[in-house]
Chains A and B, each alone.
Chain A
Amino acid sequence: AQSVTQLGSHVSVSEGALVLLRCNYSSSVPPYLFWYVQYPNQGLQLLLKYTSAATLVKGINGFEAEFKKSETSFHLTKPSAHMSDAAEYFCAVRGSGGSNYKLTFGKGTLLTVNP
């Protein structure tokens, strides 16, 4: 079975500072990895996804994530935070076959951006 651990339920950064949201996964098969963003009172929107192609994945709104198999990590970064980035971010993992295809989410990291 696969699982996801997001380190830090709340991250606070200043506007213009680096954003780093941490995600570690566990999967018995090669994983598909995703980052989703949720703005208040809205559904989840896909930021980016890793599907075994390039290990550095670029997403929307200037976010990117790097898949590191040796560290079982898929951390999300953005060089310069903007006020509009304040939201909750979820890392998710899905296996690549059989009954492993279910999408499993981490518990989320709330990002606040201070002016």
Chain B
Amino acid sequence: NAGVTQTPKFQVLKTGQSMTLQCAQDMNHNSMYWYRQDPGMGLRLIYYSASEGTTDKGEVPNGYNVSRLNKREFSLRLESAAPSQTSVYFCASSEILNTEAFFGQGTRLTVV
């Protein structure tokens, strides 16, 4: 039972490069989320998808785009990476609104 799977686990980018973080869940959840975690800041919501076909901005969306490809998959794209985007990124999913979220293992991204 994989739960929430994120790829890659580690990535180093040069400033200005682009990349897509992949996330897939096998729990048939409706809602999916992308968070970033920075020391002393807790987790901050970047984007979320309440259900298939919808996406909305969270607390810190600038510099990111998302795609809810289907019910299982929710990707996060950095079009032009900046050092300020160095962080650990977590994908999460929940069955419906107001239920607990299940998290992936994270992607550690460094932008140099």
Contact = CB atoms under 8 A, between A and B. Distances in A.
Q: Is the interface of A mostly helix, strand, loop or mixed?
A: loop
B45 to A, nearest CB: 6
Interface in B1-50: 4, 33, 35, 40-45, 48, 50
Contact of B103 (A44, A49, A101, A104): A44
Interface stretch (A14-22, A76-84, A105-113): A105-113
Assign chain B's interface to a size class: 20 to 34
Contacts of B69: none
Contacts of A105: 35, 42-44
Contact of B45 (A34, A36, A43, A103): A103
B105 A34 contact: no
A61 interface: no
Nearest to B35: A105
Contacts of A97: 98
Contacts of B92: 44, 103
Contact of B42 (A32, A45, A106): A106
A42 B98 contact: no
Contacts of A45: 103
A32 to B, nearest CB: 6
B68 to A, nearest CB: 16
Interface string B60-104: 000000000000000000000000000000101010011011111
B90 A44 contact: yes
Contacts of B98: 32, 51, 94, 96-97, 101
Contacts of B104: 43
A102 B42 contact: no
